[in-house]
Chain A
Amino acid sequence: MNTLKGTRAAIFFGMLPALLIYIGIAIIPIFVSLYYSFFNWDGISAKSAVGFDNYVRIFNDSVFWLSVKNNIIIMVTGLIGQIPLGLLLALLLNRKMRGSTFFRTVGFMPVVISSVMVSLIWGMIYNSEYGFMNALLGFFGLDSWQRNWLGDTSISMYSVSLAYIWQNCGLYMVIFLAALQNIPGEVNEAAELDGATGLRRVFRITIPMIRSTILVAVVYSISNSFRVFDLVQILTGGGPAHMTEVMTIYMYNHAFVSRQFGYGSAASMLILLFSLIVVSLVNRLGREKEI
Chain B
Amino acid sequence: MSNNSNWFRVLTYVFLSAFALFNIVPLFYMIVDSFKTEPEYAASPFSLPTKLHFENYAKAWDIANMDTYFMNSLIITFGSLIITVLLGSLTAFFLARFKFRFRKSTFAIFLLGMLVPIHATLIPIFLIMKNIGLLDTYWSLILPYTAFHLSLTIFILEGFMQGLPKDLEESGVMDGAGVYRIFWSIILPIARPAMATVIILNFIYNWNEYLFALVLISSEALKTLPLGLANFVGVETASMTLQMSALAIALVPIIIFYLLLQKQLVTGMTAGAVKG
Contacts and interface: CB of A to CB of B under 8 A. Distances in A.
Interface of A: 6-8, 10-11, 14-15, 17-19, 21-30, 32-33, 36, 43, 88-89, 92-93, 97, 99, 102-110, 112-117, 120-125, 127, 129-132, 135-136, 139, 166, 170, 174-175, 177-179, 181-182, 213, 216, 223, 226-227, 229-230, 234, 248, 251-252, 255-256, 261, 264-265, 268-269, 271-272, 275-276, 279
B208 interface: yes
A234 B15 CA distance: 31
A136 B274 CA distance: 40
Contacts of B273: 174-175, 178-179, 213
Contacts of A216: 276
The 9 closest A-B pairs by CB, nearest first: A178-B270, A114-B208, A25-B147, A29-B124, A29-B121, A116-B226, A32-B124, A18-B87, A230-B210
A276 to B, nearest CB: 8
Given A106-B24, A174-B266, A230-B210, A26 B94 contact: no
B90 A268 contact: no
Contacts, number: 258
Contact of B117 (A23, A179, A272): A272
27 contacts: A7-B179, A10-B179, A11-B98, A18-B150, A19-B106, A21-B87, A26-B151, A29-B128, A36-B124, A102-B20, A105-B259, A108-B266, A109-B258, A114-B254, A116-B226, A120-B247, A122-B26, A125-B26, A132-B46, A166-B23, A174-B266, A174-B273, A178-B271, A252-B215, A271-B120, A272-B116, A279-B115
A131 B240 CA distance: 10
Interface in B88-136: 88, 90-91, 93-95, 98, 100, 106, 109-110, 112-113, 115-128, 130
B208 A116 contact: yes
A112 B258 contact: yes
A114 B254 CA distance: 9
Chain B interface residue number, banded? 35 or more
